[in-house]
Amino acid sequence: LRRENKSYAEGSAAPAKAAVLGAGIMGGGVAYQSASTGTPILMKDISDGAIEAGLKESDRLMLGQVMRGRMKPEDALKTCRRIEPRLDYYGFDSADFVVEAVVENLNVKRAVLAEVEQQVGEATVLATNTSTLTVKEMQDAVQRPENLCGMHFFNPVHRMPLVEIVKGELTSDETVSRAVSYALAMKKLPIVVKDCSGFLVNRILFAYTRAFFELVNEGVDFSRIDRLMEKFGWPMGPAALNDMVGMDTCVHASKIVGDAYPDRMSDFRNAADLLLEAGRLGQKSGAGFYRYE
Ligand code: NAD
């Protein structure tokens, strides 16, 4: 992969200034990762509350790094200064790379991409962080589809090394190359993948969680499966993973991927649906499969 990435990134530079749309779990994580590795970034959302939550999360991550001795306090300060929160597009004209990390809704993403394209220069890369939609579904929403690609980070962004770079049918090689360069500058391991629902990792992951839900429906204790998968060597089991990602996100995403591959991944009513209906979203609501203090 390293050799492959070197050839993709050849001749292209990391952005001098980036922007991220959405200050949620992923947008906030991308802003922190970009800023802490030296690339200044504008972080735009539509409400004060969302911006505040994004900044709070990045402060929390920084404090954690400082407390563990992994970041000097002066570097934490520099990181803070590299994140510029915004409720408008001021400053976007000088951003050469935009990561779109708004809600997983095709119409919202298409509208946001069309809007931001009007605010940036002609050469600015637009990268969608969608997990389950395709670049193809968004390409005719923009005037310059050659500048549009996917850049799929994983949650939590600061800890997960892999980033999928998605080449749509109209994405230029230069755009792919610039996305690979940005991922490398963020100290991530990019992998260039084809454009399909779930890309590479989520196609595998959804098949795995589908098998987990089948077992739970058959009456197997979810916590035993978690313990077993941990013994197998995975950092966490499928129930804990669902709790971390959030039941709302999991259910929504698995419906989209299920629709994309009806013969192989048809959706069925499972424990995540029941937990969602009961308001047990996972870590973010204090309870999911497990309880969180
Ligand atoms: P989230 O709900 O935490 O955050 C989304 C943010 O987008 C919210 O703060 C919302 O206010 C904001 N937003 C909505 N419309 C906007 C607009 N027009 N302009 C600017 N901001 C707007 O969602 P998230 O979990 O961070 O997911 C964001 C994207 O990342 C989705 O496409 C999701 O599929 C993808 N993703 C999520 C995960 C995950 O585990 N959560 C992992 C990988 C990829």
* Ligand 1 close to Cβ of residue 98 (< 6 A): no
Paired residues of 282 in beta bridges? 287
Tell me, in angstroms, the distance from the centre of ligand 1 to residue 200's CA.
20
- How high is the ipTM of this complex? 0.98
* Atom nearest to 244 CA in ligand 1: 40
Which residue reads 């539509």 in tokens? 46
Is 7 within 8 Å of 195 (Cβ atoms)? no
What domains appear along the chain, each with residue ranges and CATH number?
2-194 (3.40.50.720), 203-284 (1.10.1040.50)
Q: 243 vs 61, 102, 208, 276, 280, CA distance in Å?
A: 20, 21, 15, 11, 9
Q: Kindly give the interhelix angle for 238-245 and 247-260, rounded to the nearest 10 degrees.
A: 100
Tell me, in angstroms, the distance from the centre of ligand 1 to residue 107's CA.
13
* Ligand 1 close to Cβ of residue 22 (< 6 A): yes
One digit per residue, the tens of pLDDT, for the chain of length 293 reads 878 888 888 888 889 999 999 999 899 999 999 999 999 999 999 999 999 999 998 899 899 999 999 999 999 999 999 999 999 999 999 999 999 999 999 999 999 999 999 999 999 999 999 999 999 999 999 999 999 999 999 988 999 999 999 999 999 999 999 999 999 999 999 999 999 999 999 999 999 999 999 999 999 999 999 999 999 999 999 999 999 999 999 999 988 998 899 887 766 788 999 999 999 999 989 999 999 98
Q: What is the pTM of this model?
A: 0.94
35: nearest Cα among 76, 72, 86, 95: 76
Distance CA 98, CA 115 (A): 12
* Atom nearest to 131 CA in ligand 1: 34
Which residues participate in catalysis according to the annotation?
A: 152
Q: In this structure, which residue's CA is closest to atom 25 in ligand 1?
A: 25
